[in-house]
Amino acid sequence: MKAVRRERRRRRILPVISRKGALDIKGLGKLRYVVEQTFALFHQFKRLATRWKRRLELHDTFLSLASSLICWRRLKKTGS
């Protein structure tokens, strides 16, 4: 971990983490909200909340299926 931090400092990469409720630093707050919302939507599906399957293809398939269901539900809700 320390080696990674040293390498970041050497490359002059600043650690910037947007906190909830803080002013946006270069728009980080907007990105954080979208990512948190996406994880919350995926965690509705038990198989995605905890990855039990070892095979990556199965996990990717469940992610695709969950994405399709989320989109379908949203379209159905808006009446489109």
Q: What is the pLDDT of residues 6-26, one digit of tens each?
A: 888 898 887 776 666 666 556
Q: What is the mean pLDDT of residues 21-47?
A: 71
| Whether the predicted pLDDT of 45 surpasses 60 | yes
pLDDT band at 68 (very low <50, low <70, confident <90, very high): very high
pTM of the entire predicted model:
0.51
Which of the pair, 19 or 46, is modelled with greater confidence? 46
The total of other beta-carbon atoms located within 10 Å of residue 33's CB is 12
Helix extents (H) in the chain: 2-10, 28-42, 46-49, 56-78
Q: What is the mean pLDDT of residues 32-56?
A: 76
The domain spans of the chain are 1-42, 46-80
